[in-house]
Every structure is written in structure tokens, then in C-alpha cells.
Amino acid sequence: MFNNIYKNKRVFLTGHTGFKGSWLSLWLTKLGAKVCGYSLEPNTNPSMFTELNIKDKIEQSVIGNILDTEKLEKTINEFEPEIVFHLAAQPLVRLSYYEPVLTYQTNVIGTLNVLEAARKTPSVKAFVNITTDKCYENKEINYGYKEDDPMGGYDMYSSSKGCVEIMSSSYRRSFLNNQTSYSLATARAGNVIGGGDWALDRLIPDCIRGINNGADIEIRNPIAVRPWQHVLEPLSGYLLLGENLLDNGNNFTEGYNFGPNEDSVLTVADVAKRVTEVYGKGNVVVGEKSPLHEAGLLMLNIEKAKKVLNWTPTYNADTAIKKTVEWYKHFYNKDVNMYEYTLNQINEYEGNIVWNKNYAIK
């Protein structure tokens, strides 16, 4: 996988205590990387980070704030990574309506702090900055956003990530244009699902909570359309992008969309219903529409990742939902070792990757 580039590679990963960061920690260690994670304490209970004891699976786990520049710089400097994956963020649209300052501080200033800390660390060669599909100015039209479409965002989360995109481009031109600087790319992924997410106000965790509490699953926005994908999809894109940056950075320092094929662009109601079918229980009801604006239609164009990186989606939405539900079922049934099970899901995913075979020939 990834031309073995992560074997013994020193990787600095922010957001390792979160949903995607926990999966990425496991995948990187499986690939032989030495990972230093830097994040706040897990923000949900349960959390994948705690349940799978990820702290003990990686080289170093530091609980720290990306707004604490002194600690951040000291940690990254001492660890001397070659590559940074920056995932730490306030990632929730609805919370951004209640916590706009925290959202901007974490997402914009926090990201700038990580970019700066990396610039002060000579060992860093590559930086993958994780934003979102919501960074685009959403025109609510039947159209998949392309990488050079305008940035924007109705709510504070989306616009903070749009800002991060603009800031990354400016940062690159201002500071990363010499031989000794690192290569910086941004990655914009769609709605991610997978086992181990217990965040508030996200569809799959809401479904799982409803099913396990014997309560109705109330959905707010049944006809909202999103590009659904299994968590391993964008992570495979980030890892592939990281490989290319490490290999030949100058050719890849841009933004990339990682989303599903068109057949996996589904409504919220479709996904919730499918979750209950696969789980074998659960009742979906349409709740009162939230007064907080959330995008109705969001799609991504993934042609660039296909052409430039040779990346393609591996699972369709149906497989992604099945893998996700199976994970939670085992978790609540307590019938398998979840660490082994999660590694097996990664193994299985690796075995199904089509582009890996093309890539190996390249």
C-alpha cells in the first residue's frame, strides 16, 4: 500500500482522538508509521480512541490544544515528523451556530498555528490539510463542485473551512515557495460514515443512539442530499495525497476533492432507512425542521483526484452503510475484539482498492 512510503515514517497527526483521526492512527500504524498524535481529550463518550485504546497503539499521544502555540511547537519540534496530517477542528455545522468564535479560533487560527509550527520544524516535508466539501459557496444546484469553484459557506463551520482553503493557498504562496519548505495540499471530503463515530447531530450516530435506546430516529432534513462515503475512502485519499507530496511534492500542492461516485449521492432519509434495514431494527420519523440553515444539496466532482492521483472510490454507499452498521452491532453486542475487528475492516478495504493495482504498475 502507498508504495510502502509510510513504513517507519514519522507522522504528526492532529485530531487523533476524534473519529477520523482514530481510524487514521490505526491505518498509519498498520502501515508501519511512527505516529505522534496531538489533540484535545476525546470529545464523546464512548469514543473510538478510548474503546480501542489507540493511545497505546501509536508512538506518542499528546493531549494538547492547537491554540497553545508553545506546546504545539515544542511537541512537533521534538518529534521531528516528515509529514503532518492536520484533522483537528470544530467539525459540526450546528455547533458552529452556537459557538462561532470557538469554531473560527479552532479551525482558522488553530490551522494557522499548525502550519507555522510545521514551518519551524525543518524535518517536515509534506502537509495534508483536511478541510471539507462544505468549503465551497453552495449554490444549491444540481452540480458537483470542482476544486477551482469559489470558496464560501452559509454557516460558520463551512465558511471557516472556506477560509482555511484561502489561507492555505496564501500561506503556500507567501512562505512555502523555496526548496527547503514543505509541500502543502488540502483535502476536501464529503459526508463520512463509519463505525466509531458518536458525535452529536450527525446522521449515523443519531441512528445508532435511537436504535440502542429504543427511541425513534428523528431526522431533521429528510430530503437533504449528501455525498456519503465510508471513512476509509477519504483517508485513503489523504494517504495517497501524502505519498505524492512526499514523493514529488511540487506537483501536488493544491486542493483535492475526495467523494463518492454519483450513485452514492443519497438523501438523509434514504441513508437512515437503509441503516435500520441493515441493523434489523429502528424507526425513522421526520422531526420538526430545524430553524438553523443546513445545505439542501451538496455534491462533489472527483475527476481531479481520479486523473491526477489515480484515486477512485472503493465502496459504494450501500457497502459503506453495511460496514458501518456491522461495526456498531459488534460494538454493542460485545462479541468481538473491536481493535482486531477494525483492523480487519481496514485489511478488507485495502484488498478491495482498485486503484492500488493500477497504481502499483505506474
C-alpha 7: how far from chain center: 22
- For residues 129 and 165, the answer to whether their CB atoms sit within 8 Å is no
The single residue among 66, 108, 241, 275 that binds ligand NAD, judged by CB under 6 A, is 66
- For residues 115 and 131, the answer to whether their CB atoms sit within 8 Å is no
Q: How far is the CB of 128 from ligand NAD (least distance, A)?
A: 11
Q: Is 20 in the site for ligand NAD (CB under 6 A)?
A: yes
Q: Is 88 in the site for ligand NAD (CB under 6 A)?
A: yes
Give how far Cα 152 sits from Cα of 55, 128, 199, Å.
36, 21, 24
Q: Binding segment for ligand NAD among 4-12, 61-69, 209-217, 287-295 (CB under 6 A)?
A: 61-69
The single residue among 4, 7, 46, 67 that binds ligand NAD, judged by CB under 6 A, is 67
Q: Binding segment for ligand NAD among 143-151, 187-195, 292-300, 353-361 (CB under 6 A)?
A: 187-195
- Show the site string, 132-151: x = touches ligand NAD by CB under 6 A, - = not: x-------------------
Residue nearest to ligand NAD (CB): 18
Q: How far is the CB of 360 from ligand NAD (least distance, A)?
A: 28
Q: Is 191 in the site for ligand NAD (CB under 6 A)?
A: yes
Q: Which is nearer to ligand NAD, 106 or 121 (CB)?
A: 106
Q: Which is nearer to ligand NAD, 247 or 270 (CB)?
A: 270
Helix H or strand E encompassing 72: helix 69-79
Q: Which is nearer to ligand NAD, 23 or 182 (CB)?
A: 23
Q: Is 89 in the site for ligand NAD (CB under 6 A)?
A: yes
Q: Is 106 in the site for ligand NAD (CB under 6 A)?
A: yes
Exposed/middle/buried for residue 66 (C-beta within 10 Å: 0-12, 13-18, 19+): buried
Q: How far is the CB of 33 from ligand NAD (least distance, A)?
A: 18
Q: Is 167 in the site for ligand NAD (CB under 6 A)?
A: no
Q: Binding segment for ligand NAD among 14-22, 213-221, 247-255, 283-291 (CB under 6 A)?
A: 14-22
One-letter amino acid for residue 277 of the chain: E
Cα-based torsion angle of the residue sequence 217, 221, 223, 228 in order, rounded to the nearest 10 degrees: -80
The single residue among 13, 27, 36, 39 that binds ligand NAD, judged by CB under 6 A, is 39
Give how far Cα 267 sits from Cα of 228, 284, 328, Å.
9, 13, 22
Q: Which is nearer to ligand NAD, 199 or 336 (CB)?
A: 199
Q: How far is the CB of 324 from ligand NAD (least distance, A)?
A: 12
Q: Is 15 in the site for ligand NAD (CB under 6 A)?
A: yes
Q: Is 264 in the site for ligand NAD (CB under 6 A)?
A: no
Q: How far is the CB of 178 from ligand NAD (least distance, A)?
A: 28
d(CA 203, CA 191) in angstroms, rounded, equals 10
d(CA 87, CA 24) in angstroms, rounded, equals 10
DSSP tally for the chain: helices H, then strands E: 14, 14
Closest CA to 183 of 305, 111, 83, 72: 83
Closest CA to 229 of 133, 339, 328, 329: 133
Residues contacting ligand NAD: total by CB under 6 A: 26
DSSP-assigned letter for residue 187: E
Q: Which is nearer to ligand NAD, 17 or 345 (CB)?
A: 17
* Residues between 283 and 302 that touch ligand NAD (CB under 6 A): none
Provide DSSP, 268-281: HHHHHHHHHHHHT-
Decide the pairing of beta strands 225-230 and 265-267: antiparallel
Give how far Cα 70 sits from Cα of 10, 74, 79, Å.
21, 6, 14
Q: Is 117 in the site for ligand NAD (CB under 6 A)?
A: no
Q: Applying CB under 6 A, which residues contact ligand NAD?
A: 14-15, 17-21, 39-40, 43, 65-67, 87-91, 106, 110, 130, 132, 189, 191-192, 199
